[in-house]
Structures are given as C-alpha cells and as structure tokens.
Amino acid sequence: MIAYLSVHFLENPILIAIVILFYMFIVLGNSRDKIIITDEYFEIVFKRLIPVLSTSRKFIYKDIERIEADLPLTQSRGVLSSLVTATAPVLMIVTNTIAIQYRGGRVKKISTNIYRDAYHEAFDALRRVSNIQIEINDIPFS
C-alpha cells in the first residue's frame, strides 16, 4: 500500500501524505502491552515498535485499596484473525480498563490492550502477594 501511494504521490500529494502518515501512526502507535507482578508492586508496560515511545506505570501495593477491571477485550483465535493482525496492525478500538482506587480515595483509570486471560492470570498472582480487593467484570464484546 505504501509503495503504491509513493509511486502516485505527485497525483495528489496532500491526500497521499495524510494517508501515509495515518498508516505510520497506526504502525508506530500500536503497542504490545503487558502486566508484570512483583512482590511489592505491579507494572503495566506499553511497549511500542520504537523503544523511545515505550512507557510503563508502576503501582505499589501498599498504596492501593482496590482494583476494578472491565475486561471486554479477548484474544482472537483463528487463521483469518492471525493473518489480519500480522499484515495490517490496527489500533484497538476495544480496550480493557482497570480502575485503581488508592487508599486516599483517588482513582486512576488505565486502558490497555492486554487480553482478558492475561489479566486473570495477573490478578491471580496479585491476590497471592497482596491484600488488594479485586473486582473483575468480564464484559462480553459484541
């Protein structure tokens, strides 16, 4: 697609430049998020294609009262799904959201592309190492 647009750039440079920038934004902005559980904190890592754009957020257990998770995003299975993901990465429209309520009452909401099953595994591990109250809402996505 990019090669085709580059060849026809002179026909409509503004439109083609916008389309190329859009595709670059999708590819560079697409993340592979993950959650890491340790004995004292958990960390959500937003890993981007370009390492400089990657970020992470640490949450210390002793500061957290409870976590509420809305988890509509599940992993797609099948050959067609794998083919589409491999050839045309897109930004997720549906994300999983966790709301972290701190002991002082402040709430921090985070949306990630971490799949539901990975959150369930992480929350099971989190329950083993902390006393944080965790509420999970497995919202079906339709």
Averaged over 73-84, what is the pLDDT? 54
The predicted structure's pLDDT at residue 126:
95
Host domain of residue 24? 2-137
Tens digits of per-residue pLDDT, 24-68?
Answer: 776 666 667 899 999 999 999 988 877 888 899 999 999 999 999
* 87 or 26, higher pLDDT: 26
- Whether 103 maps to a domain, the answer reads yes
The predicted structure's pLDDT at residue 141:
55
- Whether 142 maps to a domain, the answer reads no
Total Cβ atoms within 10 A of residue 92:
14
Q: Which of 43-52, 70-79, 102-111 shows the lowest per-residue confidence on average (mean pLDDT)?
A: 70-79
Averaged over 67-90, what is the pLDDT? 62
- Whether 86 maps to a domain, the answer reads yes
Long-range contacts of 49-57 (CB under 8 A, 24+ apart): 53/28, 53/29, 57/110
- Is 0.85 topped by the overall pTM? no
pLDDT band of residue 113 (cuts 50, 70, 90) is confident
Q: How many domains does the chain fold into?
A: 1
* 84 or 66, higher pLDDT: 66
pLDDT, mean over the chain: 81
94: which DSSP letter?
S
* 47: CATH: 2.30.29
Q: Which of 10-14, 81-85, 108-112, 136-140 shows the lowest per-residue confidence on average (mean pLDDT)?
A: 81-85
| Helix, strand, or coil (residue 60) | strand
